[in-house]
Amino acid sequence: MYDKVELKNGFVEMERKVAKKWKEKDIIKKNFAMNEGKRYFTFYDGPPTANGKPHVGHIETRVMKDIIPRYKVMKGYHVDRKAGWDTQGLPVELEIEKKLGISGKDQIEKYGVEKFVKECKESVFTYVHMWEEMTNKVGYWVDMEHPYITYENSYIESVWWGISQMWKKGLLYEGHKVMPYCPRCGTALSSHEVAQRL
C-alpha cells in the first residue's frame, strides 16, 4: 500500500521529490480550493517580520500552524490560509537604526521621521525569499502569493474598522495598566519585546 522509503539519496532528496510533485500537480492550490461553498474556517498566519532571517523557532511554529488548517479541510471546511508580513514595530525600527548608526527617538526625529519611515518600508522585505524558501521546504501550505501586509492602508483601515465595531458594541473600556517602557525608544514595550532584551 505504501512505497518503501529508499534512503540511498536520503530524506532530503525524498522531500525534494514530494515538493516537486506538489508543484507539478498544483496540490497546494487544489487544497485551498477544496470544500468551496461549504462552511469556512479562516486562518490568518501571525505574520513574521521579513526584515529578519527565519530560524529554527519559525520552522516549529510554521509546522504547528499548518496542522489546524489541514485538519479543518479534512473535516469538510473551506479554509483560506492567508500569509502575512509584519512590516511595523520595534524590530523593523531597530534594524534601520543599526543601519543608519543612530539610536533612539531623538536621533530618529533629527534624521527625519518621514525619511526613517521610508527606510523602514524599504527594508521589510529584505529576506522574503528566505522565508518563501523555508516555507516551501517545510511543506507549510499557506497563500504567499496574496499576503496581507500590515503597512498597507487596507490592512490598517480593517483594524480600525474592527476596533470601531468593538467600541460601538461597548466591548472596549478605558483603564490604567503598568507597562514596561523604553526611554531610549520612547514607547511602551510588549512582553515579547521585553523578553528579547533580557
pTM of the model: 0.79
One domain, residues 12 and 52 = no
What are the angstrom distances between the C-alpha of 75 and each of 39, 69, 152? 10, 10, 34
What amino acid is encoded at 3 in this protein?
D
One domain, residues 5 and 79 = no
One domain, residues 54 and 146 = yes
**Residue 195 falls within a domain, yes or no?**
no
The tally of domains found in the chain comes to: 2
- Residue 170's pLDDT is 96
One domain, residues 8 and 76 = no
d(CA 198, CA 179): 16
pLDDT digits (tens, 9 = 90+) for 101-157: 999 889 999 999 999 999 999 898 989 999 999 998 899 999 888 899 999 999 999
One domain, residues 53 and 92 = yes
The maximal CA–CA distance of the chain, rounded, in angstroms, is 68
One domain, residues 42 and 15 = no
**Residue 175 falls within a domain, yes or no?**
no
One domain, residues 10 and 93 = no
Point out the residues of the chain with pLDDT beneath 50. Answer: 198
The SS3 assignment for 112 reads coil
**Exposed, middle or buried: residue 140 (CB in 10 Å: 0-12, 13-18, 19+)?**
buried
One domain, residues 25 and 89 = no
- Residue 20's pLDDT is 92
State residue 130 phi and psi, 5-degree precision. -70, -40
**Residue 161 falls within a domain, yes or no?**
no
Print the domain residue range for 16. 1-30
